[in-house]
Amino acid sequence: MWFNGALRSKGRPIEPLNQLTATEIVAEIGQGRTTCEAVVRACLDRVAEREPQVHAWAYLDPEAAIAAARAFDNSGKRGPLAGVPFGVKDIVDTFDMPTEWGTPIHKGRQPERDAACVALSRKAGGVLLGKTVTTEFANLHPGPTRNPHDLTRTPAGSSSGSAAAVADFMVPIAIGTQTTGSTIRPASFCGVFGYRPTWGEHRMHGVMEASGSLDTLGILSRSVADIALYRDVLLGIPPEPMPSIARPHFALCRSHVWNEFEPVTRTLVEDAAHRLARVGARVTEFTLPAEFELLNDAHRTISSFEFARTFTFEIEHHWNEISDTLRGGRLQDGIVGRFDRYIEAKRLADECRRRLDALMGGIDVLLTPAAFGEAPVGMPAFAGVPLYQIWTTLHVPAVSIPVFKGPAGMPIGAQLIAKRHDDRKLFACAQWAFERLT
């Protein structure tokens, strides 16, 4: 069973400790009811039990994690993430753990310093548990990670290990990334919350670049409150209280790829809109202008052109070590891509971003699917048609909330999208919707 919002600490901490959310861990440690070492040991026990089946981790050092937790407890230090274990996608640099980008080409690669997001997490009191599995170069070729709810099914990519580790209670929060749908889709398939911030707000220093015009960090968690907390930590600002909203305005968006979502997904999202209206939300319809239909192609043009140039070294020196999937996909598209078409695509994206801010007007968030349906059987990292690009291309913040079940009983997420830099309003609407749809 995936996280359903029922776990809440009242009085004594919930057992086992690995099932606490990050905000609950901070509260329990702060009130002296548990220790960072106890929480880390509980998470490591869960990893030992489940990792042979789930394969969420690319690197773990249990002794180092316990030592770091013990040092935190002995230090008397506190912080916004005081004592919280976290995981990091293996394209994010860590000075004390290898960062291999999901490819044998960079096996054993050891950075000399932490990425900005890792340094900020540790500064806030977080304890790094390990590196989570990514697809090859955070792209198409899958790693070994399985969906923890059904080991025959994919967890999706590319933040496969981060989503699976959080969903399986191995760690309360994890960092992923998103260039296309690499946080939102795994969150939907694995039944956790997944957040992709407004593009440009978080520092990407020390994170492998795929397509700099589109890349962002991603956060996987088991509560909206954890996302709100961790966002502020990664911005390097004092955390603000979880926001609230009295009567949100949701707009159901049937994008131009609406009919490509599975029928059950469309029905679930439409039903959610009706349910939200019945419990007091303002709910309207939202239609994207025709030119937004060109954004899927624009996304592929931009991301492929940049990706191929980012990995020129690997193309020149390690071509045969790159998977056939990647060589015949985004790399090939980028290698033959024309600069004039790349610029045309970027201009279209810029124009659509400006238009969307105006089109949304007084709408708080758009409501749309997070994935085409349930996680399919098999291990494709990017199963199904690519329906997620336009929101990433538009640089808007998005969150997947785990509120649906599909025909096989697997999770399906609802995606909420806000205007650029309205991330905190997005959190308020996500919490409001989650409480009423579950």
Asked if the bond preceding 243 is cis, omega within 30° of 0, the reply is: no
DSSP state of 170: S
Asked if residue 233 lies in contact with residue 413, where contact means CB atoms within 8 angstroms, the answer is no
DSSP string, 91-155: TB-BTTB---TTSGGGTT---SS--HHHHHHHHTT-EEEEEE---GGGSSS--S--BTTBTTB--
Q: Which helix (H) or strand (E) holds 402?
A: strand 398-405
Q: Which helix (H) or strand (E) holds 308?
A: helix 295-310
Instruction: Out of 9, 89, 162, 323, pick the active-site residue.
Output: 89
- What are the Cα distances from residue 131, in Å, to 111, 282, 355, 413? 13, 42, 39, 25
Is 346 considered catalytic here? no
Is 89 considered catalytic here? yes
Instruction: Out of 121, 158, 223, 255, pick the active-site residue.
Output: 158
Among the listed residues 370, 399, 367, the one whose alpha carbon sits nearest the alpha carbon of residue 197: 399
Instruction: Out of 182, 211, 223, 255, pick the active-site residue.
Output: 182
Is 182 considered catalytic here? yes
Distance CA 300, CA 426 (A): 27
Give the pairing type, strands 282-286 and 127-132: unpaired
Edge-first strand listing for the sheet containing 127-132: 57-60, 127-132, 85-89, 173-178, 216-221, 193-196, 398-405, 411-417, 365-369, 249-253, 282-286
Give the pairing type, strands 85-89 and 173-178: parallel
DSSP state of 367: E
Active-site residues: which are they?
A: 89, 158, 182
